[in-house]
Amino acid sequence: MKKDSIETLSSLTRTLHWCVAIGIFALLGVGVYMTDQKDYSLYPIHKSVGFLFFWLILLRVFWRMVNGWPRPTLDSHFSKKEHTLSLIVHWTLILSTLLMPISGLLMSSMGGHGIYVFGLEIFPNNPDPSNLQKVLPLNSMLAGMGKNMHDWVSSILMAAIALHIAGVLKHHVMDKDSTLKRMMGIPSK
Ligand code: HEM
Ligand code: HEM
């Protein structure tokens, strides 16, 4: 498998970056909408898509470990502080994309709701014997931890994405370097 170089990012790096980015935007949007509007019909879709994206996110983390972080393009100029900030943001993005599905799976499985991917049972729900329309938590403490983590990490992730996009725009519009072009498959000089 071809690795990243300073001039080009491999097609795997680019495909994983853009697929995970689109998935995360969609899951954040649907997640906020469904909880705000109490639209419970969207929960199974959110959970199913989140579960499937988890595998892509795991592959991305694995690829990052094998491949290392992209090095700054040769035409980019930045201070040491800016470079440290970009590393912090990249780490926050990678770790939060990992923690979101993990906390979601913990909240749903331990809350007794189970995990079903478009109807396919991954983890069974736990119906309340006295009212089969309801479920009983398997472990309220772990379910609560998952819920709090899902809530907190989603806010951290949104802030990191805003910083990330601001950083990319700074490179592209102000510095006019090839950071964004390289992520779009155009080799940098
Ligand atoms: C990268 C993946 C995911 C992202 C970005 C994401 C994002 C969100 C966001 C922004 C919310 C609304 C606010 C909040 O409670 O945090 C939410 C709610 C929720 N998510 Fe996710 N989610 C992901 C994966 C999952 C997975 C895999 C599951 C379960 C299998 C899940 C289950 C839920 C549930 C049950 C809620 C509603 C919580 C409530 O009613 O308070 N999510 N998600
Ligand atoms: C409009 C949206 C986005 C644009 C324009 C964009 C652009 C870029 C660019 C140009 C780079 C390369 C930076 C470098 O060479 O140092 C990059 C890297 C990265 N981006 Fe994004 N990005 C976007 C959304 C996202 C989202 C939503 C996430 C995560 C949730 C994300 C996570 C990352 C990570 C972790 C890296 C480090 C390299 C890697 O792991 O592939 N990006 N992005």
> Which ligand neighbours the alpha carbon of 57 most closely?
1
Range of the domain at 128: 11-183
Q: What CATH number corresponds to the domain at position 76?
A: 1.20.950
> Is 51 inside any structural domain?
yes
> Is 188 inside any structural domain?
no
- pLDDT tens-place string over residues 58-108: 999 999 999 988 899 999 888 899 999 999 999 999 999 999 999 999 999
> Is 164 inside any structural domain?
yes
Which ligand 1 atom is the nearest neighbour of the CA of 158?
Answer: 10
Cα of 108 vs centre of ligand 1, distance in Å, is: 9
Crossing angle of the two packed helices 43-67 and 80-110, in degrees rounded to 10 = 140
Is pLDDT of 6 > 80? Answer: yes
Which ligand 2 atom is the nearest neighbour of the CA of 172?
Answer: 10
Q: Which residue, by CA, sits nearest to atom 24 of ligand 2?
A: 21
Cα of 46 vs centre of ligand 1, distance in Å, is: 7
Q: Nearest CA to 56 among 87, 8, 96, 97?
A: 97
- pLDDT tens-place string over residues 158-188: 999 999 999 999 999 999 999 999 999 997 6
Q: Which residue has the tokens 């795997």?
A: 12
> Is 5 inside any structural domain?
no
Q: Nearest CA to 104 among 157, 48, 37, 21?
A: 48
For ligand 2, residues with CB inside 6 Å are 13, 17, 20-21, 24-25, 64, 70, 90, 93-94, 97, 161, 164-165, 168, 179-180, 182-183
Q: 111 exposed, middle or buried (CB, 10 Å; 0-12, 13-18, 19+)?
A: buried
- The total domain count for the chain is 1
> Is 71 inside any structural domain?
yes
> Which ligand neighbours the alpha carbon of 82 most closely?
2
> Is 76 inside any structural domain?
yes
Mutating to test ligand 1, I would choose from 22, 46, 117 the residue with most ligand atoms within 8 A of its C-beta, which is 46
> Is 1 inside any structural domain?
no
> Is 6 inside any structural domain?
no
Distance CA 127, CA 110 (A): 12
pTM of the model: 0.95
Let me know how long the chain is.
Answer: 189
